Structure 1
Amino acid sequence: MIPRKRVRIAFIGIGLLTGMAMADAAAPISLDGWRHSTEPDDVHVFLCQRADCVFGSWVSCRTEPLDAAVPPWARRKDDSTAATVASEGDKPAMVSPPLNLNLIGRSYWIETADDGTSTYRTSSIVHDATSTFVLTSSSSDRNASWANLDRFESALQKTK
């Protein structure tokens, strides 16, 4: 007979592993070298952990049904969530993206902090047969922000 304490520990361990597997399965895509986190409101945040990553690189992804309108507050809230996750407990990054969302092409903006450092953000929308994916890429390097956005757009397009 197995003691109750061991059975409880086994169930807790199985529950944690199942929960982690479900969180990874919920990601719209998976890319090597990017750590995934599902945040409230089904915002997916990907943090770059490759050796060649530019500091502060992250990508957020919001998934909406194909026919649903993207809420006007969504990108500002998603950026704030992703910036907080990326800072990993440090003070949240200051986020003030434009209110408009370019539904046809790509959007690009620069945020400059009081200390003069800049954050480069790029954004686009990818559609598949059933969903709309709103992507935002952020980095302390302009070219890295664009390259990361390209990487995620390409990965989403290949899953169609």
Structure 2
Amino acid sequence: MSNMDDYRAFLEEVRKTTGIESFTSDEGGLVSLNVDEKYNVNFQLVEETNKVLCFIEVCTLNKDTPKNVYRDLLVGALFGQDTAGGYFTIEPQTESLIYNYFFDLNEISNDVENFIDTIEKMLQLCDMWIERISTTADNDKKNEELINLNGIGMMS
């Protein structure tokens, strides 16, 4: 049996367990789901490594997103802080923030319930990061307003 056959068998088990009929892959192994009309969650088998990449479109960052947001994301990426073993990337054309996580196909095939639980926790993590980004951006803008009100001006 090939990795792709194992992957498709795993997806069948996930469909049975969740009742989500759209949890199916295209011919290349990509699964795309919209969760609660909030997140696009994607799964892709990487056959060479027998890993399943899960990537979640978290949000879109604005061009004026404060640098403190990027600093938080970088700390998360470098030190794994508040990322649960995953990492963030930014899609350059759309400025979409993507959360990425690799699953071992053999491990998740043996425990579909744990896989589903992990996905739910990942979505909660994405909720937390959206809140964190929003709070950081709001605080940064308030600090900028205070600095400008005090006549100090912004340093470039």
- Do both proteins adopt the same fold according to a TM-score greater than 0.5, normalized to the shorter chain? no
Indicate the structure (1 or 2) with the bigger Cα radius of gyration: 2
Instruction: Report the TM range for the smaller structure's normalisation.
Output: 0.3 to 0.5
Query: Which structure carries more helix by proportion?
Result: 2
**TM-score, normalised via structure 1 length:** 0.32
